[in-house]
Chain A
Amino acid sequence: MTPTTAGVLFVLSLAVALAAVHRPFGDHLFRVVSGRRHSRVERAVYRLVGVDPAAEQSWGGYARSVLAFSAVSVLALYGLLRLQDHLWLSLGFDAVVPHGAWNTAVSFATNTNWQWYAGESTMGHLAQMSGLAVQNFVSAAVGLAVAVALLRGFARSRTGDLGNFWVDLTRITVRVLLPLSVLGALALMIGGTVQNLSTGTEVTTLTGGGQTITGGPVASQEAIKLLGTNGGGFSNVNSAHPFANPTTWTNWLQVYLLLLIPFSLPRVFGRLVGQPRQGHAIVAVMAVLAVTSVALTTVFELSGQGTVPQAVGAALEGKEVRFDVSNSATFAAATTLTSTGAVNSFHDSYTALGGMMTMVNMMLGEVAPGGVGAGLYGLLVLAVITVFVAGLMVGRTPEYVGKKIGTREIQYASLYVLVTPALVLVGAAAAVATGNDSTALNVGPHALSEVLYAFTSASSNNGSAFAGITVNTPWWNTALGLCMLLGRYLPIVFVLALAGALARQRPVPVSEGTLPTHRPLFVGMVVGVTVILVALTFLPALALGPLAEGL
C-alpha cells in the first residue's frame, strides 16, 4: 500500500466511524439536554450548588451564570497555579509566574489551552489533574451549554426562558463528558498511555547515559483534552509524545474523539427544532469544509514544497515516523478545524501552504465542525447571515427555521462575526508595532506567520501554535490572555442575546416566500459565505506571511 492510499483510508475510516454514530450519539445528546428527569448524582450536585433545577433563566440570567462560572474558574485556577509549590504533587516546581498563571488560567477556562510553558517542567501533577483537566471538562460543557441555549432560542417561541445553565453544565458533564472520558482514557491506557503519579524514574540507557522516564495522570487528561476539543498537552509536545499518543491506532482514536461531539451536535439542532433535515444541512456544511481542508492540507504536506522539504525528500521535520506525513496532516487539519489545538506534529515546520491551511481552518471561525458547542453556534450564526444575504439577493424576507431574521438578530450575528478578526488583526499589528514580534524563532515571512498564528489561535480559542515563537514574556502572555478572554466571552454574550431575541418571537409559518434551508443550494451558500467572509478579512495578512513564503 502506498503512503497516499493509507492516508486516504485513514480519513475515510474516520468519516465512516463518525457517520455511524451521528444519529445514535446525537440522539443521546438530545435527550441529555431536553430531558426533564434528574439522576440522583445530579440532584446531589444541585443541592450542593444551591440551585433549583426547575428554574428557567432569561438570556441575561443565563449569560450572567456563564460569566460568573468562568470568572470563578479563572480566579481559582490562577490561585492554584500561584500556590502550587505549597500543595501536594508539585514535583518540586515553583509557583507559576503571575503573567503566566493569568495566561494559563484564562487559556484553560476559555477552552483555548494555549500553552506558553512546557508541562513537564512547569506543572505539578495536582495542577494538571485538579486544575487544568477540570477546566478541560467544564469549559467544554460551557460551550455546549451556550449552543443548547441558542438551539432553544430557535425551538421556543414567545418566551424569555432559555433553560438553566447549572442544569445544562451538570448534565453535560455527568452524562456525556465524564463517561466518554473514562472510556477514552481506558482505551488510551490499553494502547500504552501512562496513568500514574510517578515523580519520574531515573534509568541508565544502553550506552550508559541517563534518562528520566516521566510520569503523571496522562491518560485521564488526554481523553478529555480531545473529547472536549481543549488541546492542552500534558507535556510540551502534546500528542506527539509517545506517552500521550503511543501508537498509530491511538492516533486514529485521538482524531476521532476530537471530532465526535462537534460532528454529532447538528443532530441535536435538527431534533430540537423538530426538523432533522435542518441538522443534516448544517452537518453537510461542516463536512464539505472539513473534507476540503483535510484534503488540501494533506496534499500540500505530501507534495513537500519548499527548500528544506525538497532537500529532505519529504516534509518530515517535526513529525513522528509512526504517524508519517499523511496521518500527521490529518491530525493538524482536524485539530484546527475544531477548537482543539492539540498537535501530533509541529505546524511551524510544515510546508508554507500546509501551515497556512492550519491557520485558514481557524480563521474560518472554527465551524467545520468547530469546538464543542462553539462550532455549532458559530455555524448557526453564519447560517443566519447567509439567509440575510440570500434574502437581500432575491427579495425574500430572511427567515431561518421559523424565525424572522430582523434588525436585532442580524446586529448580534454581525457583531459575533467581527470579534475574532478584529482581535487577530489588531493584536498581530500591535505585536509588530511594539517590536514584540522579535521573539519569533524564524525570520522573514515565516516570522510574521508565527505572530499571526499566535493571535489567530488565541482569539479563536484554538490553542495550537507555530511553536517556534517565544511567548513567555509579560507582553505576550497578557496580550494573548486578553484575546482569549474577549474571543470567547464576547461571542458568547452575542449568541445568548441572539438566542433571547429568537425565543421571544412568534414562529413564522412556512410560505411561498420562505427560502428552503435544508437543500444543497443553501449548503453551498453557507459554505460560500463562510469562505468569502474569511477570504476578504484575512487574505492581506496571509499574503504577507505563508503565501509570500510558499509562492
Chain B
Amino acid sequence: MRLPTWLAPHLAALRALLVLTALLGLAYPLALVAVGRLPGLAGKADGSLVTVDGVPVGSTLLGQSFTDAEGNPVPRYFQSRPSAAGDGYDPTATAASNLGPESVVDTTATDPADATPSLLTRVCQRSRAVGERDGVDGRRPYCTPDGVGAVLAVFRRDGLTGPATRVVSVNQVPPATPFLTSYEGVPVELAQPGRDYVAAGGLVTPIRGDAPAQPAVPADAVTASGSGLDPHISPAYAGIQVDRVARARGADPAAVRRLVARHTSGRSLGFLGAPTVNVLELNIALDRHLPAR
C-alpha cells in the first residue's frame, strides 16, 4: 500500500516526537531527579527545607509571613516584604502586583471591601504602618499624612487648560481631612466614594509634598517583590526593625544587631546582585539565641 505523499512527513513527525519525548521528556528530567538524590544535592533538590527541633518550618529560599492569625505583624520577628502571592507568601499562588508606575488613583467605594487601592496608596499605607511600628518617619513623597496617595483631580475651564474650577483629592474620602486646603486658589474637596473623577474630566495631578527624597522607611519595605516569595530584605530594612524586635524580646539591641550582621550577605563575588538579609534564617537564629522573655 502506498501512502499519500502529504502523509509521509506527518508520520515521520509523529515518530520523531515520540522518540524525542522519551529522551527529553522522561529520560532527561528523571535522570536529573535521580542525580538530585545524591548526598550534598538532596537537600537543595528538595527545596532547601529548614527545620526547628527536627520539624520543617519552611525553606531558606522562600520568604514567609511573620504575622498572627489576624494578619498583624508579630513584633518579636523581623518582617518580610509585602507580598502579592495569595494572602501573602503563598507558593501555590505566586504573583507580583503588576501595578504600573502611574497607578495613583484608587477605586473608592461606599463599602471599603469593594475598594481597590492604587499602587501609590499601597506604598503610602505600608510606609506609614512601618513608620509607626518601628518608630521612624513614615512620610514619603506623593503621600498624604493619613497614608494614601496625594493625588488631585483638577478640573479646568477649557478641559486641559484654563484656570482650575474644581479640585478633588481623589484618594481621600470622608471623614478624612484634605491634605491641601486649596490648589491654585480653589478649595480642595474630598472624594465621594464610588465616583470616577478621571472619567469626569479631572486631570490627574500627583502632589510631591515636602517629605524627604530618601525616606526613612526603605524601598523594599513598601514594595511587593516579583515572586511574592522574596526571602530577603535589605540591610536597611532590617536595621530599622532592630529596636522593635529587641524590645519585644527583652533583649539588648546590640545583640540583635550582631545577629542581623551575621545573617547579612554582601554581593556574591563582590558585584552580583545586592546585599541581603535572609529573614527566616534570622528569625530562627533569634529564637535560638535570644528567645522572647
Contacts and interface: CB of A to CB of B under 8 A. Distances in A.
Contacts of A323: 273-274
Given A248-B268, A314-B219, A69 B13 contact: yes
A345 interface: yes
B129 to A, nearest CB: 15
A196 B215 CA distance: 43
Interface residues of A, number: 123
Contact of B56 (A203, A248, A310): A203
B267 interface: yes
A308 B219 contact: no
B17 interface: yes
Contacts of A72: 10, 13-14, 17
Contact of A118 (B44, B67, B93): B93
Contact of B66 (A206, A318, A321, A466): A206
Contact of A211 (B62, B213, B270, B284): B62
6 contacts: A195-B32, A196-B33, A220-B29, A243-B61, A344-B226, A348-B98
Interface of A: 1, 3, 5-6, 9-10, 13, 45, 48-51, 64-65, 68-69, 71-73, 76, 118, 120-121, 129-131, 133-134, 137-138, 166, 169-170, 173, 178, 181-182, 185-186, 189-198, 200-201, 203-209, 211-215, 217, 219-221, 235-237, 240-243, 246-249, 251-252, 305-324, 327-328, 343-346, 348-352, 355, 441-446, 449, 466-468, 549
B25 A131 contact: yes
Interface string B269-285: 11111101000100110
A530 B58 CA distance: 49
Nearest to B23: A178
A508 B123 CA distance: 65
Q: Which of B124, B218, B219, B233 has the largest count of A CB atoms less than 10 A from its CB?
A: B219
Interface in B200-219: 206, 208, 213-215, 218-219
A317 B99 contact: yes
Interface string B78-115: 00010001000111111111111111110000000000
Interface string B127-164: 00000000000001111000001000000000000000
B124 A209 contact: no
B1 to A, nearest CB: 15
A342 B236 CA distance: 30
A320 B94 contact: no
Given A65-B13, A195-B32, A318 B97 contact: yes
Nearest to B50: A203
Contacts of B271: 1, 5-6, 9-10, 13
B223 A317 contact: yes
A324 B273 contact: yes
Interface in B12-55: 12-17, 19-21, 23-26, 28-30, 32-33, 35-36, 41, 44-49, 52, 55
The 4 closest A-B pairs by CB, nearest first: A248-B273, A306-B101, A468-B98, A130-B25
Contacts, number: 383
B181 to A, nearest CB: 22
Nearest to B9: A68
Interface residues of B, number: 110
B25 A316 contact: no
B24 A137 contact: yes
A328 B287 CA distance: 33
Contacts of B143: 311
B176 interface: no
A412 B288 CA distance: 70
A384 to B, nearest CB: 28
Contacts of B9: 64-65, 68-69
Contact of B58 (A213, A343, A466): A213
Nearest to B150: A311
Contacts of A443: 103, 105, 198
A321 B232 contact: yes
B140 A130 contact: no
Given A200-B92, A322-B230, A441-B98, 6 more contacts: A48-B15, A72-B10, A212-B91, A236-B94, A307-B206, A321-B233
B120 A442 contact: no
Contacts of A211: 58, 62, 64, 89-91
A134 B19 CA distance: 11
A207 to B, nearest CB: 5
Contacts of B103: 308, 442-443, 446
Contact of A134 (B25, B94, B141): B25
Contacts of A131: 25
Contacts of A166: 12, 16
B169 interface: no
B231 interface: yes
A169 B17 CA distance: 11
Given A200-B92, A309-B101, A317 B47 contact: no
A300 B16 CA distance: 46
A413 B266 CA distance: 50
Contacts of B272: 6, 10, 248-249, 251-252, 327
Nearest to A348: B98
Contacts of B224: 317-318
Given A137-B24, A178-B24, A219-B32, A310 B142 contact: yes
Contact of A317 (B15, B97, B287): B97
Contacts of A449: 100
